[in-house]
Amino acid sequence: MLLAIDCGNTNIVFAVFDGEQVKGEWRSSTAADRTADEYGVWLTLLLGTAGLKPADISAAIVASVVPANVFTLKTLCRRYFGCEPLVVGEPEVKLGLAVLLDRPEEVGADRLVNAVAAHARYKGPLIVIDFGTATTFDVVAENGDYLGGAIAPGINLSLEALHMAAAKLPRIAVGRPKGVVGKSTVPAMQSGVYWGYVGLIEGLVRRISEEIGTAATVVATGGLAPLFMEATDVIHHLDQDLTLRGLLEIHRRNV
């Protein structure tokens, strides 16, 4: 079985694949000071709840946007599962696509993994929107090459910035407001963030499509993707497992 680890800025997702089937999926908060043993004990207990044991894991793959966590996760795989993990971004790991950027080494591993998964699952030129700590827009050519994209602050990050920078604005949760014109502070904040991000999505998708010269299929992933998909018709597919499926696909291409 394959252990796939997606380490983001906010959460780390661990998933176990048996072929195409996901046997278990768990998440933990990302913490640079957490040790391999802490992750190992925690994950071993969770594997047990799914009827699995460490000996069932025969391979592992890691994608991390937090460089400080890579060594810890590699140690976890070696010490608790007896395998040397593939790490997306290391030179020997083949992605099966060309990264057509001025500085390819700067691209986050999660963005490349999403590009691989989207090209494997959908046809045509693609725009992948990932609603994470940052909201990223990644552009994939029809042949699968990674063309670049755009990065905006994540929705929760924007809400936190409003609360921290403005003394009278409270900390609120993101949600779809009843109307655009808020009649009090909280609905006004919700409207500005929610409908503002809908405008951001629609505007960037339109401008990207104009720049690449063709309409693109738009795939959304990330925790808040369903909330925004219901408000706009520019998103064609919702794929919550996109990053994990990308890790599975990259592992296949390297074994």
* Residue 33 maps to a domain: yes
**Which among 87, 116, 146 is the end of a domain?**
87
pLDDT surpassing 90 at residue 13 = yes
Q: Which domain holds residue 72?
A: 2-87
pLDDT surpassing 80 at residue 248 = yes
Q: How far apart are CA 14 and CA 169, in angstroms?
A: 36
- If asked whether residues 127 and 234 sit together in one domain, one would say yes
Q: Is 175 annotated as a binding residue?
A: no
pLDDT surpassing 90 at residue 216 = yes
* Residue 172 maps to a domain: yes
> What interhelical angle do 67-81 and 36-49 show, nearest 10?
60
* 145 among known catalytic residues: no
Query: Could you tell me which residues come within 8 angstroms of residue 157 by beta carbon, excluding any fewer than 6 positions away?
Result: 133, 134
Closest listed residue to residue 60, CA positions, set 14, 116, 113: 14
- pLDDT tier for residue 111 given thresholds of 50, 70 and 90: very high
Q: Is 108 annotated as a binding residue?
A: yes
Residue 133: the pLDDT is 85
pLDDT surpassing 90 at residue 182 = no
Query: Could you tell me which residues come within 8 angstroms of residue 143 by beta carbon, excluding any fewer than 6 positions away?
Result: none
Query: Could you tell me which residues come within 8 angstroms of residue 77 by beta carbon, excluding any fewer than 6 positions away?
Result: 3, 5, 60, 62, 83, 84, 85
Average pLDDT over the chain, rounded to an integer = 91
% of the chain beyond a pLDDT of 90: 68
- If asked whether residues 123 and 26 sit together in one domain, one would say no
* Residue 236 maps to a domain: yes
Span 42-99, pLDDT tens digits: 999 999 999 999 999 999 999 999 988 999 999 999 999 999 999 998 989 999 899 9
Strands (E), 178-241: 217-221, 237-238
* Residue 92 maps to a domain: no
Q: Is 16 annotated as a binding residue?
A: no
**Which among 37, 61, 87 is the end of a domain?**
87
* Residue 96 maps to a domain: no
pLDDT surpassing 80 at residue 136 = yes
The CATH number linked to 124 is 3.30.420.40
Residue 120: the pLDDT is 94
- If asked whether residues 226 and 108 sit together in one domain, one would say yes
pTM, two decimal places = 0.87
Total domain count, the chain: 2
pLDDT surpassing 80 at residue 170 = no
**Average pLDDT of span 131-155:** 93
Q: How far apart are CA 88 and CA 44, in angstroms?
A: 24
Closest listed residue to residue 249, CA positions, set 112, 132, 129: 112
- If asked whether residues 231 and 119 sit together in one domain, one would say yes
**Average pLDDT of span 227-244:** 93
* Residue 254 maps to a domain: no
* Active-site option among 110, 145, 239, 241: 110
- If asked whether residues 143 and 50 sit together in one domain, one would say no
Q: How far apart are CA 45 and CA 32, in angstroms?
A: 21
Strands 146-153 and 21-29, sheet pairing: unpaired
Q: Is 127 annotated as a binding residue?
A: no
- If asked whether residues 6 and 65 sit together in one domain, one would say yes
**Average pLDDT of span 154-170:** 79
